[in-house]
């Protein structure tokens, strides 16, 4: 959850007496009013919330919701009114969770509430959620612990709290597969899924555009690097600029961006159908990690099959010489006329085979690293936080690329065969044998350096754009 804040200061016993509650509000207000002018602005509130582990825009939302006179500042009356209203909402949520009315929430009650909202979690996952709020070690949550944990988190109903607990991001960095997240029926009906897919597609488009020179350099080295042992990162980059100018570094990026949206949509729709087939008669539960991997791999293969001709066009446009094609349509026409329809699926087999090791290792390493971090450093939290997730994603993606890169290289060479003169058209095994005999095992990893160099900037750009697009599109998990 990323919120391991201390219990809010001031009296926490009972909290039913109006006088105690007002004194608690006064103490909180004094702590947040850093310049002691009797008002709290956004920057003061942000500093105070950051000290409590809240760093994701809650300050702005609290001010927007409680600033009744619209002066951008909170006086004590506005501040205390917001807390009263929010505590009232939190108490209703607490009672909805406390099914046996014993004044405490246990692991079973958390599991039941999540299940009611279409989210299945294991006992271990529910325990982590509980531990993030359990300050006295009783393995249950009383009203004070619940209230203090969510007091400055402007969530309005149980659905929002459930989404807050369960949601995590996986970023598209231009590789074959990102296993889709689980979405509840309510999320699907509300249109949240498609807004999220749109935000992801935009993040992917900006990310790929920002790292396009590295991507073109990778393809250039994959296809042409074997002709000279001296071809390296800098000589390849210099050669491309000399041949076509700085703008040539973005060749092939247009179609690379163009295929993101249909690929994401096809992958998601296929994933939903395959997930339904795997579940069979089992209604309302999330898939296990192994089942998600199988469904995600098959969905990725289906999406790749349908958009693969665009992959071939992207490779041809990326390595083209200046003036060779006038555009995407001209490139497609020439391939069709000179090589036939089968050319649009050249390299399809190594591409599809590459999905399995990439997706399997990526997902397995990601889950392993995340769980190891939680068990070692975040015993009291259900979420390791954004930076840790980004780190896990970067490492897992790198491991996945190491496993699948030889297949990606063979795919690219097969896609580019008609462009490279005096080169026989080889099968997947033929390409593999030729690379091993002429370049050795290192030849299978030619071009991997720019591929690694683009991972961190690609993930970072994706994250920033994704978060901004979610705000613009209203992806706030409201019902």
| Locus of tokens 């970072």 | 460
Judge contact between 335 and 343, C-beta under 8 A. yes
138-160 mean pLDDT:
82
Q: Residue 353 pLDDT more than 70?
A: yes
User: Do residues 140 and 190 both lie within one domain?
Assistant: no
Q: Residue 189 pLDDT more than 70?
A: no
Q: Is residue 253 assigned to a domain? A: yes
Listed range (210-219, 280-289, 398-407) with the worst mean pLDDT = 280-289
Q: Residue 363 pLDDT more than 80?
A: no
Domain end position, chosen among 137, 166, 195: 166
Share of the chain above pLDDT 70, in %: 77
pLDDT of residue 186: 57
Domain containing 110 equals 18-166
User: Do residues 34 and 156 both lie within one domain?
Assistant: yes
At residue 320, the 3 state secondary structure works out as: coil
Mean pLDDT of the chain: 77
pLDDT of residue 333: 92
Q: Residue 187 pLDDT more than 80?
A: no
pTM value is: 0.59
User: Do residues 94 and 148 both lie within one domain?
Assistant: yes
Summarize pLDDT for 220-276 with one digit per residue, the tens.
888 876 555 556 778 888 888 888 888 889 988 889 888 888 887 887 788 778 877
Q: Is residue 174 assigned to a domain? A: no
Domain end position, chosen among 113, 136, 166: 166
User: Do residues 153 and 189 both lie within one domain?
Assistant: no
pLDDT of residue 178: 44
User: Do residues 214 and 160 both lie within one domain?
Assistant: no
User: Do residues 358 and 256 both lie within one domain?
Assistant: yes
Q: Residue 175 pLDDT more than 60?
A: no
Is the CA virtual torsion 459, 465, 467, 473 positive or negative?
negative
User: Do residues 160 and 257 both lie within one domain?
Assistant: no
Q: Residue 114 pLDDT more than 60?
A: yes
Q: Residue 209 pLDDT more than 60?
A: yes
**188 vs 82, which has greater pLDDT?**
82
User: Do residues 256 and 215 both lie within one domain?
Assistant: yes
Q: How far is the C-alpha of 16 from the C-alpha of 76, rounded, in Å?
A: 20
Q: Is residue 8 assigned to a domain? A: no
Of the candidates 11, 67, 60, 56, the one whose C-alpha atom is nearest the C-alpha of residue 467 is 56
446-461 mean pLDDT:
84
pLDDT of residue 43: 84
pLDDT band, very low/low/confident/very high, at 185 (cuts 50, 70, 90):
low
103-121 mean pLDDT:
80
pLDDT band, very low/low/confident/very high, at 406 (cuts 50, 70, 90):
very high
pLDDT of residue 306: 92
Whichever domain contains 404, its CATH number is 1.50.40.10
DSSP, res 343: G
Q: Residue 169 pLDDT more than 50?
A: no
User: Do residues 316 and 354 both lie within one domain?
Assistant: yes
Of the candidates 189, 157, 183, 153, the one whose C-alpha atom is nearest the C-alpha of residue 168 is 183
Q: Is residue 242 assigned to a domain? A: yes
Whichever domain contains 66, its CATH number is 1.10.238.10
Domain count, the chain: 2
User: Do residues 104 and 242 both lie within one domain?
Assistant: no
Q: Is residue 123 assigned to a domain? A: yes
User: Do residues 249 and 304 both lie within one domain?
Assistant: yes
pLDDT of residue 464: 79
Residue 273, number of CB atoms within 10 A of its CB:
14
User: Do residues 215 and 140 both lie within one domain?
Assistant: no
Q: Is residue 142 assigned to a domain? A: yes
Q: Is residue 6 assigned to a domain? A: no
pLDDT band, very low/low/confident/very high, at 173 (cuts 50, 70, 90):
very low
Q: Is residue 178 assigned to a domain? A: no
pLDDT band, very low/low/confident/very high, at 385 (cuts 50, 70, 90):
low
Listed range (84-88, 97-101, 222-226) with the worst mean pLDDT = 222-226
pLDDT of residue 404: 87
- Give the angle subtended at the CA of 291 by the CAs of 289 and 294, to the nearest 5°: 110
Q: Residue 180 pLDDT more than 80?
A: no
Domain end position, chosen among 134, 166, 198: 166
pLDDT of residue 378: 58
Q: Residue 184 pLDDT more than 60?
A: no
Residue 308, number of CB atoms within 10 A of its CB:
20
- Give the angle subtended at the CA of 192 by the CAs of 158 and 473, to the nearest 5°: 110
134-156 mean pLDDT:
83
């Amino acid at each position: 959850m990323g919120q391991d804040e201390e219990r809010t200061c001031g009296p926490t016993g009972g909290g039913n007496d109006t006088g105690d509650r007002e004194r608690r509000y006064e103490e909180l207000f004094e702590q947040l009013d850093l310049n002691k002018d009797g008002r709290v602005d956004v920057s003061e509130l942000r500093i105070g919330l950051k000290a409590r582990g809240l760093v994701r825009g809650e300050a702005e939302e609290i001010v927007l919701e409680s600033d009744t006179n619209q002066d951008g500042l909170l006086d004590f009356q506005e501040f205390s009114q917001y807390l009263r209203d929010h505590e009232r909402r939190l108490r209703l949520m607490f009672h909805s969770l406390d099914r046996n009315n014993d004044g405490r929430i246990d692991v079973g009650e958390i599991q039941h509430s999540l299940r009611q909202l279409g989210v299945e979690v294991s006992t271990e996952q529910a325990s982590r959620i509980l531990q993030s709020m359990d300050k006295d070690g009783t393995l249950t949550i009383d009203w004070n612990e619940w209230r203090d944990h969510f007091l400055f988190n402007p969530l309005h109903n149980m659905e929002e709290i459930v989404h807050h607990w369960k949601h995590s991001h996986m970023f598209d960095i231009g590789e074959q597969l990102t296993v889709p997240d689980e979405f509840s029926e309510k999320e699907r009906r509300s249109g949240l899924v498609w807004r999220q897919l749109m935000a992801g597609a935009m993040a992917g488009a900006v990310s790929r555009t920002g790292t396009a020179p590295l991507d073109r350099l990778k393809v250039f080295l994959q296809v042409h690097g074997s002709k000279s042992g001296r071809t390296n990162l800098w000589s390849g980059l210099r050669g491309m600029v000399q041949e076509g100018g700085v703008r040539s570094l973005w060749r092939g990026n247009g179609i690379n961006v163009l295929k993101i949206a249909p690929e994401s949509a096809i992958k998601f729709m296929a994933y939903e159908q395959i997930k339904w087939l795997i579940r069979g008669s089992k209604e309302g539960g999330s898939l296990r990690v192994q089942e998600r991997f199988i469904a995600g791999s098959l969905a990725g293969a289906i999406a790749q099959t349908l958009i693969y001709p665009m992959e071939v066009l992207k490779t041809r446009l990326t390595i083209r010489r200046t003036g060779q094609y006038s555009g995407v349509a001209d490139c497609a026409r020439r391939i069709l006329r000179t090589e036939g329809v089968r050319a649009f699926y050249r390299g399809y087999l190594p591409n599809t085979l590459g999905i399995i090791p990439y997706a399997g290792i990526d997902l397995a390493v990601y889950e392993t690293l995340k769980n190891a971090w939680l068990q070692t450093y975040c015993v009291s939290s259900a979420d390791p936080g954004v930076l840790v997730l980004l780190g896990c994603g970067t490492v897992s993606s790198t491991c996945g690329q190491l496993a699948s890169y030889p297949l990606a290289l063979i795919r690219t060479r097969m896609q580019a065969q008609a462009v490279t003169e005096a080169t026989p058209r080889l099968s997947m095994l033929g390409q593999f044998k030729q690379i091993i005999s002429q370049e050795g095992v290192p030849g299978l990893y030619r071009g991997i350096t720019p591929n690694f160099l683009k991972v961190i900037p690609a993930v970072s750009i994706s994250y920033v754009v994704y978060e901004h697009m979610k705000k613009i599109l209203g992806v706030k998990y409201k019902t």
